[in-house]
Amino acid sequence: MVVYNEFLIIACSYKYLFKNRGGKVLKNNWKDKFKFNAVQTLAIGFALVILLGGILLSLPICSQDGSATSFIDSVFTSTTAVCVTGLVTVDTGTHWNYIGKTIIMILIQVGGLGFMSFATLLAILIGKKITLKDRLVMQEAMNTFNIQGLVKMVRYIMVFTFSVEGLGALLYSTQFIPSFGIAKGIYYSIFHSVSAFCNAGIDLFGEFRSLTIYNDNAVIILTTAALIIIGGLGFAVWIEIYNFKGIKKLSFHTKMVLTITLILLTAGALLMFIFEFNNPGTMKEMNLKDKLLNSFFASVTPRTAGFNSISTADMTAAGKLLTIILMFIGGSSGSTAGGIKTTTFGVLVFTLISTIKGREDTEVFRRRISKETVYKSFAIFSIALALVLSVTMILSVTEISQPFEYLLYEATSAFGTVGLTLGLTPKLSIIGKVVIILTMYCGRVGPLTVAVALTKAKKKPNYKYPEDKILVG
């Protein structure tokens, strides 16, 4: 009897697992449970690239002294490279040998352009067909409106990227070759061109000095600034600029990006000039030309490159706060930059203006922005702000001896994938490093993307609840 009951239990379990529909036994394929949508594929892909980079960098062949690097520092470096951030716990210039530095440069390039771009390029080279699912993931990675012309766009992105980086390396070489010699000068030129264009902000000069040793060199500062701006505008914008046929022919997106970028660069440079003009720790001893040059660069680099030509720790409180704001905003959608993006910031600002004017819709350039876009912008802003504040709160517990402004600065820099620091990064505890790693990952993939990837998709309901009133403000 016992055997018979056990048999019934097994039979019922089998029937439950392999349901009979229409007379056919259908196997419940375990693969169906692990089917990922485009957003989840993108999030997992970045995580796998980071993990692979961390494993490679932990090997003894990557360090200067031939010893293995701790796994947490290796993953941190891999994350900061793939997420094109620039925060480092070990000095890039002195800790890693050329094998390690080359791996970091490759990770920066893959992270800046997106692993899907390289996967698509590889598929094109070997003649593999680009499926619809591949195109959907590419659309999510590049943040485009539709999937048409994506493969052609990937080709354009690759040619454009390598051309701009090549030109940047050529300009750098005029300064680095005389200083470091031919071989080292060329390598430094290529590395820093890739790092600047991809908005990574990782340098090889050692001792965490970044570009402070070149704050009077207009060629290096302006070349770096130009690469940062070009990489931060977005590839879709540059396609329109390349095919420029008049301002009226530009898309609404491109007009918004260029307008917000110009406003932020101009206002940021002017305010930074005012805040740091008489600061003995930054610009007081500089001549007027260098003050203007470094004020402009201090406005460019928080969005979101991470290079610095003046001491960030010695900036005035106003200068640090301005930098935090610029880091939070970041670059433009579909670019190598991070942050909430210029277009998101623009939608928020113009929604505020339209609300004050009593307009029912958000209006700009004689166009109306859809409520769906407005809601998405507020969602991105809210999630990003909550993330930065949460990380700051966690760091205030794990990094007890550090000032609050250092913690907020670090959290914002990690989220915005900027890489600027007040000197806290090398001092982080293990928990602090893990928190910053996760923050950089969320900042690069996108806070809304991560939230969607972790949430099970649900069908939109075909009903609406009755509208009611509530007092606000």
Using one digit for the tens of pLDDT, what is the confidence trace for 271-327? 999 999 999 999 999 999 999 999 999 999 997 788 999 999 999 999 999 999 999
| Rounded-to-integer distance, Cα 299 and Cα 268, Å | 5
Q: Between 123 and 464, where is the model more confident?
A: 464
- Whether the Cβ atoms of residue 118 and residue 90 lie closer than 8 Å to each other: no
- Whether the Cβ atoms of residue 384 and residue 340 lie closer than 8 Å to each other: yes
In this prediction, what percent of the chain has a pLDDT beyond 90?
51
- What pLDDT, on a 0 to 100 scale, did the predictor assign at position 361? 84
- What pLDDT, on a 0 to 100 scale, did the predictor assign at position 451? 58
Domain-embedded: residue 4: no
Domain-embedded: residue 17: no
pLDDT by residue (tens digit) across 193-250?
A: 999 998 888 999 988 889 999 999 999 999 999 999 998 887 778 888 877 777 777 8
pLDDT tier, 60 (very low <50, low <70, confident <90, very high otherwise): very high
**Residue 47 phi/psi, 5° resolution?**
-65, -40
- Whether the Cβ atoms of residue 289 and residue 217 lie closer than 8 Å to each other: no
3-class secondary structure, 24:
strand
Burial class (CB within 10 angstroms; exposed 0-12, middle 13-18, buried 19+) of 98 = middle
Domain-embedded: residue 6: no
HSE-up of 245 (CA within 13 Å, CB side)?
5
Domain-embedded: residue 29: no
Domain-embedded: residue 308: yes
The DSSP H or E segment spanning 21 is: strand 20-21
Mean pLDDT of 427-448: 87
Q: What type of residue sits at position 104?
A: I
Bridge partners of 367?
Answer: 364
Number of domains in the chain: 1
| Rounded-to-integer distance, Cα 158 and Cα 152, Å | 10
Look up the domain containing 294 and give its range: 37-454
pLDDT tier, 129 (very low <50, low <70, confident <90, very high otherwise): low
- What pLDDT, on a 0 to 100 scale, did the predictor assign at position 25? 44
**Residue 279 phi/psi, 5° resolution?**
-85, 115
- What pLDDT, on a 0 to 100 scale, did the predictor assign at position 421? 92
DSSP, residue by residue, 348-395 = HHHHHHHHHTT-SSEEETTEEE-HHHHHHHHHHHHHHHHHHHHHHHHH
- What pLDDT, on a 0 to 100 scale, did the predictor assign at position 124? 55
Average pLDDT, the chain: 82
pLDDT tier, 43 (very low <50, low <70, confident <90, very high otherwise): confident
Q: What angle do CA 355, 357, 359 make, to 5 degrees?
A: 60
Domain-embedded: residue 330: yes
Answer yes or no: is pLDDT of 359 > 80.
yes
In this prediction, what percent of the chain has a pLDDT beyond 70?
79
Q: What type of residue sits at position 464?
A: K
- Whether the Cβ atoms of residue 45 and residue 116 lie closer than 8 Å to each other: yes
Q: How many CB atoms lie within 10 A of CB 396?
A: 15
Q: Between 123 and 275, where is the model more confident?
A: 275
Q: What angle do CA 164, 347, 371 make, to 5 degrees?
A: 125
Domain-embedded: residue 27: no
HSE-up of 267 (CA within 13 Å, CB side)?
10
Q: How many CB atoms lie within 10 A of CB 244?
A: 10
Task: Spell out the residues 6+ positions from residue 71 whose beta carbon is closer than 8 angstroms to its own.
Answer: 54, 58
Domain-embedded: residue 143: yes
Residue with tokens 């008049």: 246
